[in-house]
Amino acid sequence: MLPLKKGSYVAIVTPFNPDLSVNFTKLTELVEWHIAQGTDGIVACGTTGESPTLTDEEHLAVIGHVVKTVNKRIPVIAGTGSNDTLYSLHLSEEAEKLGADGLLLITPYYNKANDEGLYLHFTTVADKVNIPIILYNVPGRTGVNIPVSVLKRLAQHKNIVAIKEASGNLDFVLKIAAECPGLAIFSGNDSQVLPVLSLGGVGVISVAANVFPKVFADMCRFYREGKVAEATKLQVKYAVFIENLFTEVNPIPVKEAMNHLGHNVGGFRLPLCAMSDKPKAALIDAMNRLRD
């Protein structure tokens, strides 16, 4: 069983000042807003948090700041994955010391690994920490898909409790649910929250919740309460917005959306840069339509 709260976890953005330093004042504001809006948990320093361009010191400072600000009101999951196992272990151990409630570990990317390498990568970290681990499967970005046979082995580890499943393949989600009953499933795609919940999933780790946190918290809560029609209505209503949120690489559109709504989370560190005009206009139009 997942020893963490079910529901909507926001993969929170990392706000930047005009000089592209981390804006910790804004980060505090965002955390407090999410808690007030009913967000069930916060993932700090995931891909949406631009972790690839944070220094080690910034990475741990962001995690520590979120942990301190949340102050145990909701779970904080630290993104500490890497394609370097020992580096991931280092970040994970430091995040645990900072008080993170769990870890999100992405599959090794670029150098990849065979099945045994994947198993050893995750268990090397799991053996050395004492907080829950959520595996992160997103083959569209990493080029690696964790086979069900490997997930079955990983699910036997006491510290590996869940998976953020972002392959987009519902048949694969069904196989995980059928063959890895001890592994809780979070949707890694905002467009598939309800389908994943219907297959026994426990929630979503969401990009879109940065913009509409209450919507995704309500969506998960409605489903848990048996209000499937209400949950489905939200999934359908926000479908066009979600589609436009991923027309360029995440987190470019979500930061543009937040800035448009006045959250002032700043810009991007290269190689990420401002959104192209046409997709940005479509994104803003999709948000404006939600107000009608």
Q: For 250-292, what is each residue's pLDDT tens digit?
A: 999 999 999 999 999 999 999 999 999 999 999 999 999 997 5
Return the pLDDT at 1.
Answer: 39
Return the pLDDT at 91.
Answer: 98
Structure tokens at 88: 């991931």
pLDDT band at 4 (very low <50, low <70, confident <90, very high): confident
Select the more confidently predicted residue: 1 or 229: 229
Return the pLDDT at 3.
Answer: 59
Residue 187 belongs to some domain of the structure? yes
- Per-residue pLDDT of 189-222, as tens digits, reads 999 999 999 999 999 999 999 999 999 999 999 9
Find the catalytic residue in 9, 119, 136, 223.
136
The whole-number average pLDDT for the span 139-143 is 88
- Residues of the chain with pLDDT > 70: what percent? 99
Residue 245 belongs to some domain of the structure? no
Residue 78 belongs to some domain of the structure? yes
Residue 251 belongs to some domain of the structure? no
For the question of residue 136 being annotated catalytic, the response is yes
- Per-residue pLDDT of 99-122, as tens digits, reads 999 999 999 999 989 999 999 999
Residue 284 belongs to some domain of the structure? no
Q: How remote is the C-alpha of 167 from its chain's centroid?
A: 13
- To 10 degrees, the CA torsion angle through 197, 229, 168, 14? -80
pLDDT band at 54 (very low <50, low <70, confident <90, very high): very high
- Residues of the chain with pLDDT > 90: what percent? 94
Residue 2 has pLDDT above 60, yes or no: no
The whole-number average pLDDT for the span 141-154 is 94
Residue 213 belongs to some domain of the structure? yes
Return the pLDDT at 292.
Answer: 54
pTM of full prediction above 0.85: yes
Residue 257 belongs to some domain of the structure? no
Mean model confidence pLDDT for the chain: 96
List the CATH number of the domain containing 108: 3.20.20.70
Q: Are strands 160-165 and 133-137 parallel, antiparallel or unpaired?
A: parallel
The whole-number average pLDDT for the span 16-30 is 98
Residue 154 has pLDDT above 50, yes or no: yes
Domain count, the chain: 1
Where residue 50 falls (left for φ over 0; alpha for ψ -120 to 50; beta otherwise) is: left
Domain extent, residue 72, equals 7-227
Return the pLDDT at 274.
Answer: 95
Under DSSP, the state recorded for 83 is S
Return the pLDDT at 291.
Answer: 74
- Per-residue pLDDT of 230-244, as tens digits, reads 999 999 999 999 999
Structure tokens at 213: 């946190």
- Per-residue pLDDT of 160-176, as tens digits, reads 999 999 999 999 999 99
Return the pLDDT at 53.
Answer: 96
For the question of residue 158 being annotated catalytic, the response is no
Find the catalytic residue in 6, 26, 164, 255.
164
Pure H helices in 99-161: 115-126, 139-142, 148-154
Residue 238 belongs to some domain of the structure? no
